[in-house]
Structure 1
């Protein structure tokens, strides 16, 4: 009698119910994520000057620096489910405050609060994914969460322009409704047992993390890769302008990037999730570096499209594996704070990326630096492999 091996689960099989609830909530929530992307248009329409608008946007970014650390602490101290629900309801409240703010001072205060509240739920969601998903499926789970964000954002962009024409309050209502809907999904679908606090010995996850040399090295590795990837958003427009190409081409390139991620990520993630974390991350960052480096020799629209295809493939390889790597290094009870540190690393990269890109671009060294950074990331991943393997064994 011939015994056949069990078939490997497809990309949409094998993941727990809690994951799919979070996936659905994330998809719904991102579909309503329309207020912040269109806030500048709203403020311009109200007669605010460019400097005042920049102050409001900066206030949001300032609040965002504290959202992930606060969310990580709350998730480990009071429970993932409670933090998720509380963070989403607080986000909905802050969205209403932004829509109702009648002066610049109130707008800035509401923006700070929104930046703080808007990221509180993220470490709790990531902690739940890490804790309820088997380790070998974590890259697939986190990759699909990234996919949900892109699908939801694409749908939101398609409808937001139509709603804005009839009033900014329609965007606020949509955003508030989807945030509350995510909270309801969590409240109804995720068992209350996930509100259990972490053991006392693990509640101060940041103190534990500060002494975790492998984690710190992994975060530095991810930070370098994320600053590299940030150049796709911040340096690419500079290159297009330098070549005298229209801003509409940048919109096309972003659409190409989104289409590649939405179409191919579910296929890639099923294959890549079977491979070791660090080699995938190292190679993916090198591919991103190569794609961005080739931007330096592009001077026609189709050249730019080709480079976007290349670094988009690298983006797919990075998505999911970053959070999964941190989850592998996390001691029991500290998933909230460890995932918050990863989220904070992405926030730092968003702030540092433009400054680094601008300096290197002016020095005419950016594209060479992208190639070198991609190679550095691949080498960094190779060096980290023994330490991470010892922790995971």
Structure 2
């Protein structure tokens, strides 16, 4: 029984995928610095909260540039070289941050760190698509999502322990984990870009922006990202208004992380063989229910229950979201398509708190009904857009001779 479950969850994936997966997990486990960057600035560098916020914001600015640059380099330069350059640069920047004291220098280094941390995203996903058979990609992306969350959960725990001892150690251990990921990629991950690929002849950065089917998918994913960002931006404010402190919010975050770590490996058996548009519509409906229910939440148990509901939606959405993204991207432009897709997260990271704060202030609990309505609209949108995506994928499969589930 256990053996069959393991085969269903993780079987049939090539060795290169597992080295990529291991690098991602190690990198996430060591991703300490960003989590405690604002605390480091205020406690160790005597920055005011306003200046600390400005410096931390530079990470997002660098992240947008890094995502676009990573997409172009992934197609033109190759997956392996992009991954190696980005991780080596991130390790060097982290060491520089550990010894820098001037706030202006730190701000510049934080922007560079955001760039270096965002560059590998398109290359990681493009490499996974390159080496994984189409009928195993759902499992591959499910395991990627699981590793990311497992690593972040471990990083949150380890970072707290390290920060109490030394901020210097925080940066240096992060740099060491990044360097270890670089070594794994250099040792075991070959170049996976299709042979004789000429991405310049296949199109430019504007190509995905002219792809209507892809852009509709990106827009629907942006709505999902807006809902996701409620957790880290608006939820703590709502809980504080109900008299619940930081420890209560920390418990909600811990429960959602534990649920993903414990349950994500069971998701493939639930969704394999099912229409991806319907799975995504279901996930968005579950998202909508979880957030809309917050309109009546005023106690910790209610917040925890709502968190369980919307986390189930996130777990169901992760594999088909990534799989559809991989199916819509032409082989020679996978990096650029991934870059445009990944931009929804920094964009949502700006829009969610900017609009959500105003909405919560003026609407109170009704803000969550509005969020739920957005989720319901996205669920309907997935059902509406699904047939066009399916026709596009089927036509691509027929042209290239590949099999689509």
TM-score, scaled to structure 2:
0.91
**Residues 292-328 of structure 1, C-alpha deviations (whole Å, 9 max, x = no match):** 1101101121111111110110010122322221111
Alignment partner, residue 24 of structure 1: 22
Report the Cα offset of residue 201 of structure 1: 5.1
Q: Does 1:229 align with 2:228?
A: yes
Q: Output the CA distance in 1 between the equivalents of 2:310 and 2:199.
A: 43
CA displacement at 1:195 relative to structure 2:
8.4
CA contact (8 A) 1:140 1:270 kept: no
Alignment of 1:287-326 (within 5 A): 287-326=286-325
CA apart distance, 1:200: 4.2
Give distance in 2, aligned partners of 1:342 and 1:242: 34
Residue 80 (structure 2) pairs with residue 87 (structure 1): no
Asked if 1 retains the 8 angstrom alpha-carbon contact of 2:10 and 2:139, the reply is: no
Within 1, Cα distance between the matches of 2:166 and 2:216?
Answer: 47
SS of 2:145's equivalent in the other structure is: helix
TM-superposed CA distance for 1:281, in Å, is 1.3
Q: Distance in 2 between matches of 1:76 and 1:197?
A: 12
User: 2:181 matched to which residue of 1?
Assistant: 182
- Residue pairs, 1:1-393, within 5 angstroms: 9-46=7-44, 47-192=46-191, 194=193, 198-200=197-199, 204-364=203-363, 365-393=366-394
Give the number of equivalent residue pairs. 388
Task: Give the secondary-structure state (helix, strand or coil) at the position aligned to 2:83.
Answer: helix
- Residue 248 of structure 1: how far off its partner (Å): 1.1
Residue 24 and residue 149 in structure 1: after superposition, are their counterparts in 2 closer, same or farther (change >3 A)?
same
Q: Name structure 1 gaps, 5 residues minimum.
A: 1-5
Name the stretch that deviates more: 102-111 or 350-359.
350-359
- The 3 A distance-change label for structure 1 pair 166 and 254 is same
Give a deviation string over 1:151-185, Cα, whole Å, max 9, x none: 11111222222222321121112111111111111
Q: Secondary structure at the match of 2:206?
A: helix
**C-alpha separation between the residues in 1 aligned to 2:368 and 2:64?**
29
- Residue 191 of structure 1: CA displacement? 2.1
- TM-superposed CA distance for 1:196, in Å, is 5.4
Q: Distance in 1 between matches of 2:51 and 2:383?
A: 46
Task: Rate the CA distance shift 1:380–1:172 in 2: closer, same or farther, 3 A.
Answer: same
Cα deviation, 1:37-57, whole Å, max 9, x if unaligned, reads 111221122211111111110
Alignment partner of 2:331: what SS? coil
Q: Which moved more, 1:272-281 or 1:22-31?
A: 272-281
Would the alpha carbon gap of residues 48 and 195 (structure 1) be closer, same or farther in structure 2, given more than 3 Å must change? Answer: farther
Question: Hey, what does 1:3 align to over in structure 2?
Answer: none
Shift of 1:205: 4.0
The question of whether the paired residues in 1 share the 8 Å contact of 2:131 and 2:192 is answered with no
Contact kept in structure 1, 2:297 and 2:303, CA below 8 Å? yes
**CA–CA distance in structure 1, aligned partners of residues 165 and 318 of structure 2:** 36
Task: Report the Cα distance in structure 2 between the residues aligned to 1:337 and 1:322, rounded to whole angstroms.
Answer: 17
Instruction: Return the alpha-carbon distance in structure 1 between the equivalents of residues 211 and 297 of structure 2.
Output: 43
For 1:84 and 1:303, the matched residues in 2 are separated by 42
- 2:403 corresponding residue in structure 1: none
- TM-aligned CA deviation for residue 126 of structure 1: 0.5
Normalising to structure 1: TM-score of the pair?
A: 0.94
RMSD of Structure 2 on Structure 1 (CA): 1.8
SS in 2 for 1:245: coil
In structure 1, C-alpha distance between the alignment counterparts of 2:393 and 2:194, rounded to whole Å: 26
- Tell me if structure 2 keeps the 8 A contact 1:76–1:197: no
Per-residue deviation, 1:197: 6.5
Q: Deviations over 1:15-41 (max 9, x none)?
A: 122211111111111110001111122
Number of the residue aligned with 2:399: none
Larger displacement relative to structure 2 (122-131 or 138-147)? 138-147
